[in-house]
């Protein structure tokens, strides 16, 4: 992969030659690199330039790709309205082509935009669509990721039973994939929900399983947090455990 200096030089050369297609390409690559590094002020004008040039050159696929990066940037800047305006045409484009990678990213950005705007049911529809696309394509990581996202959304909406069911499904995926940190994180989330539902015994089981994994991964902060949580759970009076009644 070219360095930032190399990309800057290639962009400069393209501008000097007036090669609009190459300008769009390098402006996108440089802008996207800045975005990945969190340098939003440098990324924004480059991505906007690339987007405008792709539209001028009548290249809808490249325009949609750039639009998704713009939507990501706007979400980081907490400008959900702009993010949705950028993401929606790109989502529609990739859905029309039945192109799974672009469609899934479009679903993610539309879902996150809707969530930020308080439109929770619509956000869930996009996350569920992305999960189904991933599942159909055999993308287990994508399926698990969007199960997690739906579960977190339902927790936010205080629908703990639905969140519990979705986290249990994602846990099976992470175990199948042998991704221990995500398995531990999901177990900890399950433990929190069981606690919220009053099932203290099951909350302890989930947290102990998560703790064991985090110890193996030598993640000291997570180990400390779970040890404190477990101590608090084990000190709760028996009558607070609904599983014992």
Backbone angles phi and psi of 59, in degrees to 5? -120, 80
Q: What is the mean pLDDT of residues 65-81?
A: 98
- Is 90 exceeded by the pLDDT of residue 226? yes
Nearest CA-CA partner of 193 in 152, 237, 146? 152
- What does the mean pLDDT of the chain come to? 95
- How far is residue 171's CA from residue 184's CA, in Å, rounded to a whole number? 9
Interacting residues of 165 by C-beta distance below 8 A, sequence separation 6+: none
**How far lies 132's CA from each of 53, 86, 100, in Å?**
34, 23, 10
User: Quick one: pLDDT at residue 239?
Assistant: 63
Mean local confidence (pLDDT), 82-97: 98
Residue 217 has what pLDDT?
96
Percentage of the chain exceeding pLDDT 90: 95
133-149 in b/e burial notation, b at 16+ Cβ within 10 A? bbbeeebbebbbbbbbb
DSSP-assigned letters across all residues of 142-168: HHHHHHHHHHHHHHHTT-HHHHHHHHH
Which domains are seen in the chain, by residue range? 1-58 (1.25.40), 75-150 (1.25.40.10), 160-245 (1.25.40.10)
pLDDT digits (tens, 9 = 90+) for 143-200: 999 999 999 999 999 999 999 999 999 999 999 999 999 999 999 999 999 999 999 9
pTM reported for the whole predicted model:
0.89
Q: How confident is the model at residue 236 (pLDDT cuts 50, 70, 90)?
A: confident
The confidence score (pLDDT) of residue 180 equals 97
Under a CB-based contact definition with an 8 Å cutoff, are residues 144 and 178 in contact? no
Contact present, 109 and 91 (Cβ < 8 Å): yes
Backbone angles phi, psi at 170, to 5 degrees: -70, -35
How many CB atoms are located within 10 Å of the residue 219 CB? 16
Rounded average pLDDT over 125-136:
97
> Per-residue pLDDT tens for 2-59?
899 999 999 999 999 999 999 999 999 999 999 999 999 999 999 999 999 999 999 9
């Amino acid at each position: 992969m070219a360095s930032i200096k190399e990309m800057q030089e290639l962009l400069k050369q393209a501008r000097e030659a007036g090669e609009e297609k190459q300008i769009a390409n390098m402006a996108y690559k440089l802008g996207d690199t800045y975005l990945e590094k969190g340098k939003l002020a440098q990324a924004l004008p480059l991505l906007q330039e690339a987007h405008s040039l792709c539209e001028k050159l009548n290249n809808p696929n490249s325009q949609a790709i750039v639009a998704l990066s713009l939507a990501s940037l706007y979400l980081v800047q907490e400008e959900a309205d702009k993010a949705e305006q950028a993401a929606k045409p790109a989502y529609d484009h990739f859905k029309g082509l039945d192109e799974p990678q672009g469609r899934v990213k479009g679903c993610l950005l539309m879902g996150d935009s809707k969530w930020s705007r308080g439109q929770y049911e619509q956000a869930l529809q996009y996350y569920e669509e992305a999960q189904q696309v991933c599942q159909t394509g055999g993308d287990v990581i994508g399926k698990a990721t969007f199960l997690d996202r739906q579960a977190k959304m339902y927790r936010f909406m205080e629908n703990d039973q639905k969140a519990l069911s979705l986290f249990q499904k994602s846990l099976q995926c992470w175990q199948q994939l042998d991704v221990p940190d995500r398995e531990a994180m999901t177990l900890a989330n399950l433990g929190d929900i069981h606690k919220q539902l009053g099932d203290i015994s099951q909350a302890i089981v989930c947290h102990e399983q998560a703790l064991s994994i985090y110890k193996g991964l030598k993640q000291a902060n997570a180990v400390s947090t779970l040890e404190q949580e477990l101590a608090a759970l084990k000190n709760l009076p028996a009558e607070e455990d609904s599983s014992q009644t």
